Amino acid sequence: MECLPGFREFYPEPLPHKDAWSADARQHIFDTWRSTARRYGFREFDGPPLEPLDLYTAKSGAEIVGQLFNFVDKGERAVSMRPEMTPTVARMVAAAERAYKKPIKWFSIPQLFRYEKQQKGRLREHFQLNCDIFGEADLGADAEIVALLIDTLRALGLTEDDFVIRLSSRQAWQRFFASNNGKPDQEYEFYQVIDKVERETPEVSSARLKLLGIEYAAVQDFIRAGEPTPELAILLENLKARGLGAFVKVDYYVIRGLDYYTGVVFEAFDRKGEFRAIAGGGRYDQLVKLLSQGKVDLPALGFGMGDVVLLELLKARGKLPKFTAGVDVVVLVEEESLRASSLALVQALRDAGRVVEYSLTPAKSDKQFKRAIELAARFTARVEPDLDGTKQVRLKNISTRSETIGDLSAAIAATA
Amino acid sequence: MECLPGFREFYPEPLPHKDAWSADARQHIFDTWRSTARRYGFREFDGPPLEPLDLYTAKSGAEIVGQLFNFVDKGERAVSMRPEMTPTVARMVAAAERAYKKPIKWFSIPQLFRYEKQQKGRLREHFQLNCDIFGEADLGADAEIVALLIDTLRALGLTEDDFVIRLSSRQAWQRFFASNNGKPDQEYEFYQVIDKVERETPEVSSARLKLLGIEYAAVQDFIRAGEPTPELAILLENLKARGLGAFVKVDYYVIRGLDYYTGVVFEAFDRKGEFRAIAGGGRYDQLVKLLSQGKVDLPALGFGMGDVVLLELLKARGKLPKFTAGVDVVVLVEEESLRASSLALVQALRDAGRVVEYSLTPAKSDKQFKRAIELAARFTARVEPDLDGTKQVRLKNISTRSETIGDLSAAIAATA
């Protein structure tokens, strides 16, 4: 009864073997995602990991079903484990938007599920930071969401040498398509070709573009020129004012495959180009209306960042901290006659917020001290035998090896 | 396409309506669970929310399937969303225990799923804090796990007037059953009767006990006497040494229905008896061996605490903090000519860790200030127009209304 293929188990560090997934690294990423989103005034929400199947087929069509963990539940409902968060958040916003001041800035960290074809290392679940702004059509919102994406990666220790945000614009391609006499009903197909032009051979792209009446050379020239549209110029100006100009570049290769984007689109990549996209997003002003069956019409934009490529990048660039148990104090119980007062010391230190370990059972002194070293504890503490009826604590700073004797409050202060 | 029945959506505060679930309250509970478990040196782990169906039927028999969200996936595997965490952690421990020093102290906060019969307010998912110790047979471990349970509730603001841990012992009932000439093959059935004796009428319990050859009066006398077994006496002594004696009482009504407990068992209840159990657990020394098909034999014990009853109790006792957006500074952009330098100020404050809000678009001064009040921000800040080429920041403490003007580093220091 092994774990299902494509699913992960997360272990505490030090890891049992080199391919194990680290629960500590995951928590480090989640904590950083959460604290950065909060600095930007984003508020956390969550929805159910199981949803009506219709929620996804309404947005993505019936062909999505082949990639879902879907089934019929005991109440005869067609349901699916969530493959993405956007339909859920659109429903929640549509139901409650009147109660919130605009713009609504929300984030969540859902686990998402896709029944991908099985390949080595290919996962069927991942965690994703989702950040969205609802109710603001101004480009100031686009700048805010791109700045949040940059600062999330910076907060994880990555620099402008490690990653870049490739900025593009659906409007730019719309105008290009129109001015090259593209047919409106082939616009979405055109976007699909552009989305792949970086990875396909020139021959394939050229042939596909020809069917749409578009010259491959014109596309190449447009991408090479990389002239910012008026919208992108405003966005760049805003990011430069924040001192974030070095983290972005205009790059019309990016268009985002999904058909619901309507404005600025962007993707984050590692500078060396060794990994798949770290994150991606853009503006999707029509989607809330579509998903709420016309009930609520709010401009919207956002991005998603998965935990898997991110973790690979952090590892490759040496940006993960060394994870330990974070033990502040190991209380040494050197005589069983002192166990009761040692337990009182353990409790007092924990009540003061310290992470405290001790041996649950009688153990030799040197073994207890050795364990403190293994745990990378900052201090050891032990109860001094009563001489005058006052309990004293002998505290040892493990890195300096210096010892002090004092009362409990001194021990609490010294281990802060 | 509403949310499925029995599933929850979590909204940021202030909530859109009074029955909405609070994402902030949930995060408050998770943060407290996590920090308390860490103070005790417990390490976080997680497993997949979807598991092979066998994992649960092996432990609980085929009858469990009626309560599961189970299905056959696209690879023809019989799978189930996890209804509990114990089989997962037992598998993970069995696979990796050699890499970890004993005792292994682990916690997790999984979302769990049960297809419960639909009733008003009855949920089909909840979150649960799971804390377990593996590899320690000594009662010192039982005391440590009960102390952690107590401190988790204390960390949420609950006191000895709010809750009590009812301690009991499977061995106590084992000995009672044997000394009353119970037949070994009816022992589990006997536990089932005891598990319900508090809620059933004396007539029903009496009749059920008679079938097992046990006198109802003997059971009543045993519970009333409440004499601690030698094991419970040691446990009580240990908890008293920590100053936690007032949080526990011996109560043989508690036995825990599940058949895998082997020693001390316990449940946490509110003192007023208004709610279902807040948490429950005990020692299950045979389960790792059973679930690992005999591969690994480790004594174990632990508890689970759900988020739903806990939240009800915290609400009823007024122990939830008031949740706000936690905004430190609202940067006021009073003239659009100052937007670029205001964005630089926003960025600098956020880089210093402050939670910063500002108007993404041009807005009237008084509207911006009103928004700062609504957000319960601690400060407003605005860029002073350049006089001598040095950027200055005017900072206003919203509660004292006092204003200061200084450079950026002064503003960062003042808003710490």
In this structure, what CATH number is given to the domain that contains residue A257?
3.30.930.10
Residue A41, pLDDT > 90, answer yes
Q: Per the domain annotation, does A3 fall within a domain?
A: no
Give me the pLDDT at residue A122, please: 81
Q: Per the domain annotation, does A324 fall within a domain?
A: no
A287 and A376 in a single domain? The answer is no
Contact list in B for residue A38 (CB cut-off 8 A) is 326, 355
Give me the pLDDT at residue B22, please: 98
B352 and B273 in a single domain? The answer is no
Give me the pLDDT at residue A235, please: 98
| Whether A95 and B8 lie within 8 Å, measured CB to CB | no
Average pLDDT of span B380-406: 88
Contact list in A for residue B92 (CB cut-off 8 A) is 9, 11
- Cross-chain CB nearest to B9 (options A17, A47, A140): A47
d(CA B211, nearest CA chain A) in Å: 36
- Cross-chain CB nearest to A1 (options B58, B71, B72): B58
Q: Which chain B residue has its CA at the smallest distance from A7's CA? A: B48
Q: What percent of chain B has pLDDT over 90?
A: 89
**Which chain B residues in 149-178 lie under 8 Å from chain A, judged by CB atoms?**
151
- Cross-chain CB nearest to B45 (options A12, A241, A244): A12
B35 and B177 in a single domain? The answer is yes
B351 and B406 in a single domain? The answer is yes
Could you please report the per-residue DSSP string of B213-230?
T--HHHHHHHHHH-PPPH
Helix (H, G, I), strand (E, B) or coil at B129: strand
Its domain, for residue B31, covers 10-316
| Whether A125 and B4 lie within 8 Å, measured CB to CB | no
Contact B280, B304 (CB under 8 A): yes
pLDDT category at B410 given cuts 50, 70, 90 is very high
pLDDT digits 0-9 by tens, B277-331: 999 999 999 999 998 889 999 999 999 999 999 999 999 999 999 999 899 999 9
| Whether A344 and B101 lie within 8 Å, measured CB to CB | no
Query: B364, B408, B400, B409: which is closest to B379 by C-alpha?
Result: B400
Q: Per the domain annotation, does A1 fall within a domain?
A: no
Q: Which of A316, A340, A373 is the last residue of a domain?
A: A316
d(CA B147, nearest CA chain A) in Å: 9
pLDDT digits 0-9 by tens, A246-289: 999 999 999 987 678 999 999 999 999 999 999 999 999 999 99
d(CA A266, nearest CA chain B) in Å: 20
d(CA B387, nearest CA chain A) in Å: 20
Residue B155, pLDDT > 70, answer yes
d(CA B394, nearest CA chain A) in Å: 19
Q: Which chain A residue has its CA at the smallest distance from B34's CA? A: A27
| Whether B44 and A12 lie within 8 Å, measured CB to CB | yes
Contact list in B for residue A114 (CB cut-off 8 A) is none
pLDDT digits 0-9 by tens, A211-235: 999 999 999 999 999 999 999 999 9
| Whether A44 and B12 lie within 8 Å, measured CB to CB | yes
Q: Which of A259, A285, A316 is the last residue of a domain?
A: A316
Residue A27, pLDDT > 90, answer yes
**Which chain B residues in 18-77 lie under 8 Å from chain A, judged by CB atoms?**
20, 23-24, 26-27, 38-41, 43-52, 54-55, 58, 66, 69, 71-75, 77
pLDDT category at B118 given cuts 50, 70, 90 is confident
Give me the pLDDT at residue B46, please: 98
B393 and B260 in a single domain? The answer is no
Please tell me the least confidently modeled range out of A18-32, A245-259, A323-337: A245-259
**Which chain B residues in 250-309 lie under 8 Å from chain A, judged by CB atoms?**
none
pLDDT category at A387 given cuts 50, 70, 90 is low
For chain B, how many residues are written? 416
Number of structural domains found in chain B: 2
pLDDT digits 0-9 by tens, A150-193: 999 999 999 999 999 999 999 999 999 999 999 999 998 999 99
Helix (H, G, I), strand (E, B) or coil at B394: strand
A279 and A334 in a single domain? The answer is no
Q: What CATH number should be reported for the domain holding residue B362?
A: 3.40.50.800
A274 and A388 in a single domain? The answer is no
Interface predicted TM-score (ipTM) of this complex, two decimals: 0.96
Give me the pLDDT at residue B123, please: 95
Which residue of B236, B242, B330 is the best one to mutate when testing the A interface, meaning the one whose CB has the most A CBs within 10 A? B242
Q: Per the domain annotation, does B214 fall within a domain?
A: yes
Alpha-carbon gap, residue B67 to A340, rounded angstroms: 45
Give me the pLDDT at residue A91, please: 95
Residue A388, pLDDT > 70, answer no
The β-bridge partners of B154 are none
Cβ atoms < 10 Å from Cβ of A78 = 13
- Cross-chain CB nearest to A7 (options B1, B3, B48): B48
| Whether B44 and A327 lie within 8 Å, measured CB to CB | no
| Whether A73 and B144 lie within 8 Å, measured CB to CB | no
| Whether A3 and B346 lie within 8 Å, measured CB to CB | no
Query: B8, B257, B289, B274: which is closest to B121 by C-alpha?
Result: B8
Burial class (CB in 10 A: 0-12, 13-18, 19+), A293: exposed
Which residue of A1, A31, A85, A136 is the best one to mutate when testing the B interface, meaning the one whose CB has the most B CBs within 10 A? A1
A288-291 contacts, C-beta under 8 A, 24 or more apart: A288/A90, A288/A93, A288/A94, A288/A134, A290/A59, A290/A260, A291/A58, A291/A59, A291/A86, A291/A87, A291/A90, A291/A91, A291/A94
| Whether A106 and B12 lie within 8 Å, measured CB to CB | yes
Give me the pLDDT at residue B298, please: 97
A402 and A333 in a single domain? The answer is yes
pTM confidence score: 0.96
Q: Per the domain annotation, does A102 fall within a domain?
A: yes
Q: Which chain A residue has its CA at the smallest distance from B371's CA? A: A101
Which residue of B7, B8, B11, B327 is the best one to mutate when testing the A interface, meaning the one whose CB has the most A CBs within 10 A? B11
A271 and A388 in a single domain? The answer is no
**Which chain B residues in 310-349 lie under 8 Å from chain A, judged by CB atoms?**
325-327, 339-341, 343-344, 346-347
d(CA B316, nearest CA chain A) in Å: 23
Summary mean pLDDT of chain B = 95
Average pLDDT of span A41-57: 97
Give me the pLDDT at residue B387, please: 61
Give me the pLDDT at residue A14, please: 93
Distances in Å between the Cα of A79 and the Cα atoms of A95, B77, B78 are 21, 17, 16
| Residue in the structure block whose two tokens are 């068992």 | B265
A396 and A254 in a single domain? The answer is no
Which residue of A46, A113, A351 is the best one to mutate when testing the B interface, meaning the one whose CB has the most B CBs within 10 A? A46
Residue B290 token pair: 């059973």
What's the first-to-final CA gap in chain B, in angstroms? 45
pLDDT category at A59 given cuts 50, 70, 90 is confident
Q: Which of A283, A316, A349 is the last residue of a domain?
A: A316
| Residue in the structure block whose two tokens are 């020693």 | B263
- Cross-chain CB nearest to A11 (options B96, B111, B357): B96
Give me the pLDDT at residue B58, please: 83
Residue A237 token pair: 């100006």
Q: Per the domain annotation, does A5 fall within a domain?
A: no
- Cross-chain CB nearest to B355 (options A7, A23, A41): A41
Average pLDDT of span A17-28: 96
- Cross-chain CB nearest to B340 (options A81, A91, A241): A241
A334 and A401 in a single domain? The answer is yes
Residue B389, pLDDT > 70, answer no
Average pLDDT of span A95-110: 97
A149 and A250 in a single domain? The answer is yes
Give me the pLDDT at residue B9, please: 98
Q: Per the domain annotation, does B2 fall within a domain?
A: no
Half-sphere exposure of residue A406, counting CA atoms within 13 Å on the CB side? 12
Residue A395, pLDDT > 90, answer yes
Give me the pLDDT at residue B74, please: 95
d(CA B181, nearest CA chain A) in Å: 36
| Whether A3 and B91 lie within 8 Å, measured CB to CB | yes
d(CA B404, nearest CA chain A) in Å: 23
Give me the pLDDT at residue B388, please: 62
Q: Per the domain annotation, does A31 fall within a domain?
A: yes
Contact with chain A for residue B216, Cβ under 8 A: no
| Whether B74 and A115 lie within 8 Å, measured CB to CB | yes
Give me the pLDDT at residue A69, please: 97
